[in-house]
Amino acid sequence: MYQMAFRVLEILDGAAGPVSGDVITSRLGISRSTVWKQVQLLKEMGYDISASPGEGYLLRKASDRLLPYEVHKRLRTTLIGKQMRYYPSTPSTSGIARDLCIQSDPKDLNGLVLIAEEQTGGVGRLGRVWVSPAGGIWVSIILTPGIAVGRAFMITMAGSIAVARAIRKEYDLGALIKWPNDIQIGDRKVAGILLELSTEGDAIRYCLLGIGVDANIKPDELPHPLPQRITSLSTELGRDVDRAALLARILKEFESRYLLIESGEYETIVLEWKSLSSTLDQRVQITTMRSRFEGEAIDIDEFGALLVRRDSGKVERVIAGDCLHT
Ligand code: BTN
C-alpha cells in the first residue's frame, strides 16, 4: 500500500524544488489522482508537502517518525537493516520478531530490523516493564549467527558497544556501558539491550536483539524506579535528536562488530566492551535471585560473567542479576 507513496517521496526528496504532477505521473506511470492520493498518504505519515496548481508538489520537511525510508537513506550496511518493518504502535517488537521466526525460516530473516514508533507492552531485562512512548528508538533485530550458545553474550556486548559508540559519535556524549548491558550517561541510564535466544542443542537457531533508546522523551514520560536513574538524549542535549540518523549509526556500528563475532574474533569485542565499561574497577552491589553482596568488579570472563571480589577476597562469578555502582 505504501510502496508507491515512497516512490513518489523519492522523487520529491531528490528534487531541488517543486515537481509537477505530470513529471511524477510520467516517471511512475500512474494517474494524477493516484499521485494526489500518494501525497495524502505521505502527509498522513508526517511529511510536510505543499501543492500549488502552477508549480506542483514540494517536500518542505521530512517526517519525524522513525520510518524505514528515513533510516535507509542514511544506512551504510550490507546485512543489518537491509530489510526493515515499521509498526506505528505494537505491544512489543520482540513479540513480532518471535512470531515471524515461527512463521518462516529464521535464516531468511537474518538482519531484519523491526521498528516500533511506540510499544504498549515493552519488555525489559528480567521480565520488567519497558516503558516505550513515541519518541524513543524501539527495535528488534533478528539474527542467525553461526556461533555456539555459550558465546551468545557476545551479541549483547556488540549491541551495547554499538549503542554507546553511536551516541558518542553522533553527539559527543560520554556514553558508557554498565554491566551487563545498560548504556548510561553519567549515572543515568539512556538505553538498554535485551537478547532472546532460541536454541537447538549447542547451536543458536535464532536470536532477537532488542534495543531500546530513550531518545526524544521528556523526563515526565520516563519511569523513575529507584535505585536506577534514567535520562533521555533530548534531556541531556536540550534538543531533539534525529532518530533515523542515530538508528542508522547504531546498525552500522553493530554490523561491524557482528561480522567480527561471525569470524570468531571474540577477543576484540571483549576488549572494546571493557574499554567502554563503567563497571570495571568500581565498587558494586550485586543482587541475584539468591543473594546480595558487595565487592569490587574486577573483570568479565569470556562468557560475559562479571567477576566480583568480595571484601573477604573470594571472587564471585555473576551471570545474571542487578549491579549497582556504590
Ligand atoms: C533493559 O531492560 O535494559 C532492556 C530493554 C530492551 C527494550 C527493547 S525495546 C525493543 C525491544 N522490544 C521490547 O519489548 N524490548 C526490547
pLDDT of residue 302: 80
Distance 4 CA to ligand 1 centre (A): 32
Q: Which segments of the chain have a pLDDT < 70?
A: 1, 224-227
Within 13 Å, how many C-alpha atoms sit on residue 163's CB side? 31
What's the burial of 82, exposed, middle or buried (CB within 10 Å: 0-12/13-18/19+)?
middle
Three-state DSSP state, 91: coil
What pLDDT score does 1 carry?
Answer: 66
pLDDT digits (tens, 9 = 90+) for 40-75: 999 999 999 999 988 999 999 999 999 999 999 999
Q: What is the pLDDT of residue 224?
A: 66
The neighbour count for residue 322, using CB atoms within 10 Å, is 18
CA–CA distance, 246 with 3 (Å, rounded to integer): 24
pTM: 0.95
Residue 304 near ligand 1, beta carbon < 6 Å: no
- What does the pLDDT read at residue 172? 85
pLDDT digits (tens, 9 = 90+) for 91-128: 999 999 999 999 999 999 999 999 999 999 999 998 99
Between CA 177 and CA 275 the distance in angstroms is: 9
- pLDDT given for residue 303 in this prediction: 84
Residue 91 CA: nearest ligand 1 atom is 14
Residue pointed to by grid coordinates 551516541 = 167
- pLDDT in the model for residue 227: 57
Centroid of ligand 1 to alpha carbon of 230 (angstroms): 14
List, for residues 189-200, the tens digit of each pLDDT value: 999 999 999 999
Measure 129 CA to ligand 1 centroid, in angstroms: 9
Tell whether ligand 1 has an atom less than 6 A from the beta carbon of residue 145. no
**From atom 11 of ligand 1, which residue's Cα is the shortest distance away?**
210
